[in-house]
């Protein structure tokens, strides 16, 4: 760093290559900072707590094919079977699986009439085993009673009189109340059909992972007699992978006019649902690494060109007393100056791009901690890129100074 002044002045007099590299570094920084911001934003989305006991749960989807298929009998008997498989904690039939990106929703109002406040909510049709089978926590109120459970026939709107809602949905419907105070309140849906909130659920996700109101969900005490049936099964901790094949085998052994269509863990369901986000993250990582490599190659190219052009000058410096370390230090210092200029411009560029992304796509604001991290990363990349060529330069013979090139 002893030569920082002359190096800086020399760069100012011969700046085209240096400016181009600094701009490349700035553009790289602008893009990678925002790409990392997007990646971590996706991470935040993907790691949201669904409210389920995911690592101990699996699901089985069946379809009735027999002409005389008795959905109610098969559902009840399948639930009896599943609940008695060793290692199973509990099981329910459910119309839609959380995070499956497929389900149903309704508009829920906090009062009757057209002027009432309302909110959209995902609807899960379940029985009184749901709290235990899903592994959800109730903030207030009580579980459904067995007598609350009715059969829901397809396309018939017998809306039940009780409901459990998530705390977030409660807050949306009753913004002036604590979520727990929603218990006992009456909600309305459809043609002002009333239902009483019997419990508030701490956390439960809707099926649609991309939905802005993913925490708006409700449980309704009804079983479905559709030919399609999803069963959500919760096992004792650590036994899921052993229990799932046993449960599926026992289901398949029963000759009741239905077949097992699909089964998998809830962890896999989550992974599948967020596949697009994972793919986006992968693409962004590829872009980041590619840009880093291109930037590093740009630096290698510039420095190699510079060294070839300055062989006599390097030889002269060696003749005048520069050690090999001095030559390496010279090029590292030069590179730090160029890269530092680039990352400073890149900081401004990163913030500007993020402001545009925020205003245009409603993305979250940039966490400024990424700026120093990216600065250090790019400075490190620059130093690594320049080290090889600098080492070669250091081995230029001092006798080059006396050669007539």
Partner 1 sequence: MLTMNNVSKVFRTDTIETTALQSFSLQVNEGDFVAVTGPSGSGKTTFLNIAGLLESFEDGDYLLDGQSVKHLTDKQLSRLRNEKIGFIFQSFNLIPDLNLFDNVDVPLRYRKLSKAERKQRIEHSLEIVGLANRMQHLPSQLSGGQQQRVAIARALAGDPLFLLADEPTGNLDSKMADSVMSLLEDINANGTTIVMVTHDHAQAERAQRHIQVLDGKVTEQHNGPVTAVPLRA
Return residues touching partner 1 (CB under 8 A): 2-3, 5-6, 9-11, 13-14, 312-313, 316-326, 397-399, 401-402, 404
Q: Which is nearer to partner 1, 32 or 322 (CB)?
A: 322
Give me the least distance between CB of 381 and partner 1, in Å please: 26
Give me the least distance between CB of 14 and partner 1, in Å please: 5
- Helix residue spans in 261-274 (DSSP H): 266-273
Give me the least distance between CB of 313 and partner 1, in Å please: 6
- Helix residue spans in 47-144 (DSSP H): 71-83, 130-134
Among 4, 27, 12, smallest CA distance to 334 is for 4
**Tokens found for residue 340:** 């530092």
Is beta strand 57-64 parallel, antiparallel or unpaired with respect to 258-265? Answer: antiparallel
Give me the least distance between CB of 400 and partner 1, in Å please: 9
Q: Which is nearer to partner 1, 365 or 403 (CB)?
A: 403
**Tokens found for residue 143:** 């579980």
Q: Which is nearer to partner 1, 240 or 317 (CB)?
A: 317
Q: Which is nearer to partner 1, 185 or 311 (CB)?
A: 311
Q: Which is nearer to partner 1, 379 or 401 (CB)?
A: 401
Give me the least distance between CB of 335 and partner 1, in Å please: 16
Is beta strand 193-201 parallel, antiparallel or unpaired with respect to 162-166? Answer: parallel
3-state secondary structure of 200: strand
357 contacts: CB under 8 Å, gap ≥ 6: 34, 363
The CA–CA distances, whole Å, from 327 to 313, 333, 394, 397 equal 11, 10, 5, 12
Q: Which is nearer to partner 1, 41 or 313 (CB)?
A: 313
Question: Cβ of 124: how many Cβ atoms within 10 Å?
Answer: 25
Q: Which is nearer to partner 1, 12 or 369 (CB)?
A: 12
118 contacts: CB under 8 Å, gap ≥ 6: 107, 108, 109, 110, 173
**Tokens found for residue 275:** 């596949």
Q: Which is nearer to partner 1, 7 or 81 (CB)?
A: 7
Residues 176 and 183: their CA atoms lie apart, in Å, by 14
Give me the least distance between CB of 341 and partner 1, in Å please: 17
Give me the least distance between CB of 386 and partner 1, in Å please: 18
Give me the least distance between CB of 403 and partner 1, in Å please: 8
Among 195, 211, 166, smallest CA distance to 52 is for 166
Give me the least distance between CB of 305 and partner 1, in Å please: 15
Residues 353 and 29: their CA atoms lie apart, in Å, by 11
Q: Which is nearer to partner 1, 83 or 312 (CB)?
A: 312
32 contacts: CB under 8 Å, gap ≥ 6: 287, 288, 291, 292, 374, 377
């Amino acid at each position: 760093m002893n030569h920082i002044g002359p190096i800086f002045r020399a760069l100012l007099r011969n700046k085209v290559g240096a400016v181009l590299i600094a701009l490349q570094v700035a553009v790289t920084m602008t893009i990678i900072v925002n790409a990392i911001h997007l990646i971590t934003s996706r991470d935040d989305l993907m790691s949201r707590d669904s409210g389920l006991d995911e690592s101990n749960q699996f699901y089985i989807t069946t379809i009735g094919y027999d002409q005389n298929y008795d959905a109610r009998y098969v559902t009840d008997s399948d639930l009896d079977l599943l609940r008695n498989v060793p290692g199973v904690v509990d099981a329910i039939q459910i119309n839609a699986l959380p995070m499956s990106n497929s389900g149903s929703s309704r508009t829920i109002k906090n009062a009757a009439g057209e002027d009432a406040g309302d909110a959209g909510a995902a609807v899960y049709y379940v029985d009184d085993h749901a709290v235990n089978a899903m592994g959800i926590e109730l903030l207030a109120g009580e579980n459904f009673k067995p007598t609350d459970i009715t059969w829901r026939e397809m396309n018939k709107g017998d809306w039940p009189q009780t409901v459990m809602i998530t705390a977030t949905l409660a807050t949306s419907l009753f913004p002036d109340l604590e979520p727990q105070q929603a218990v006992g309140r009456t909600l309305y849906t459809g043609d002002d059909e009333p239902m009483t909130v019997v419990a508030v659920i701490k956390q439960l996700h809707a099926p649609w992972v991309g939905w802005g109101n993913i925490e708006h969900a409700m449980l309704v005490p009804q079983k479905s007699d559709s030919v399609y049936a999803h069963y959500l099964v919760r096992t004792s901790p650590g036994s899921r992978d052993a229990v799932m094949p046993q449960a599926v085998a026992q289901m398949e052994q029963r000759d009741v006019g239905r077949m097992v269509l699909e089964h998998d863990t809830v962890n896999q369901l989550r992974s599948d649902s967020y596949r697009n986000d994972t793919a986006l993250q992968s693409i962004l990582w590829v872009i980041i690494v590619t840009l880093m490599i291109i930037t590093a190659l740009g630096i290698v190219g510039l420095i190699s060109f510079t060294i070839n052009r300055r062989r006599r000058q390097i030889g002269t410096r060696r003749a005048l007393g520069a050690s090999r370390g001095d030559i390496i230090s010279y090029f590292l210092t030069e590179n730090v100056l160029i890269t530092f200029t680039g990352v400073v411009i890149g900081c401004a560029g990163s913030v500007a791009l993020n402001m545009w992304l925020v205003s245009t796509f409603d993305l979250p604001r940039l966490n400024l901690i990424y700026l120093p991290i990216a600065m250090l990363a790019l400075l490190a990349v620059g130093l690594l890129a320049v080290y090889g060529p600098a080492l070669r330069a250091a081995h230029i013979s001092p006798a080059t100074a006396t050669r007539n090139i």
